[in-house]
Amino acid sequence: MSKQAIVTGGTRGIGKAIAIGLKEAGFNVAATYGGNDEAAAQFKEETGIGVYKWDVSDAAACEEGIAKIEADQGPTDVLVNNAGITRDGAFHKMTAEQWRAVMSTNLDSAFYMTRPVINGMRERGYGRIINISSINGQKGQFGQANYSAAKAGLIGFTRALAHETARKGITVNAIAPGYIGTDMVAAMDEKVLDSIVGQIPVGRLGTPEEIANAVLYLADDKAGFMTGAVLTINGGQYIAA
């Protein structure tokens, strides 16, 4: 019987590659998105993966959305907390709105999405929770105090929840991608992008599929002995101890 997976922010970028990879591996996949209806419709047409629209920074919307997905495809076995936004700015100019928007979407959403599925996973004695953090949650980044704090928070969340759920057959792991060749990165100023690539020892951006491959491993039964881990996938740009 196929396992059921949810990928937040699953219709574009890294999330899109994750959703497609899971489907190709035999999972029934639901992809959530927040705003780009055109991209979501195109994704659904191309992949056949069900799409569901809601704001993951809204606790009630997450609970209602998950209930709808589970009514459509069954209890959740794998949850990938991937949705994220940026609202960059030097800290001395950063507004409370910029801070709150990023913390709500990038960190609070992990609680709002995981809380409604965790009891079912505990009762069934199985679950895979995979949180997409970032290189900048490990090392920090100028102009991203909000983003770096949220992504670092995901790592703490991952480790704490891993302790709580290990004996219930649930693994909780994180992936910290470096700079990946998504549309968002491709839209950066060419000189800035060249400077970033120059700091990556392998000499290139990563691909969304390379992150998806790591998710596929963590979602597999073969990864049952790995929990509380952070996989750094950044071409050697930052080597965490």
Residue 147: active-site member: yes
Amino acid letter, 185: V
Whether 223 and 216 have beta carbons less than 8 Å apart is answered as no
Tell me the helices (H) and strands (E) count for the chain, helix number first: 10, 7
Q: Looking up tokens 């490990």, which residue turns up?
A: 138
Whether 2 and 11 have beta carbons less than 8 Å apart is answered as no
d(CA 125, CA 165): 9
Beta-sheet strands, E only, within 140-241: 170-177, 230-233
Sort strands 28-33 and 50-53 into parallel, antiparallel or unpaired. parallel
Whether 228 and 159 have beta carbons less than 8 Å apart is answered as yes
Q: Where are the alpha helices (DSSP H) in 11-58?
A: 13-24, 37-47
Collapsing DSSP states into helix, strand and coil, what is residue 159? helix
DSSP 65-108: HHHHHHHHH-S-SEEEE---------GGG--HHHHHHHHIIIII
Token duo for residue 149: 């704090």
Query: Looking at 52, 112, 147, 179, which residue is catalytic?
Result: 147
Active site (catalytic) residues: 147
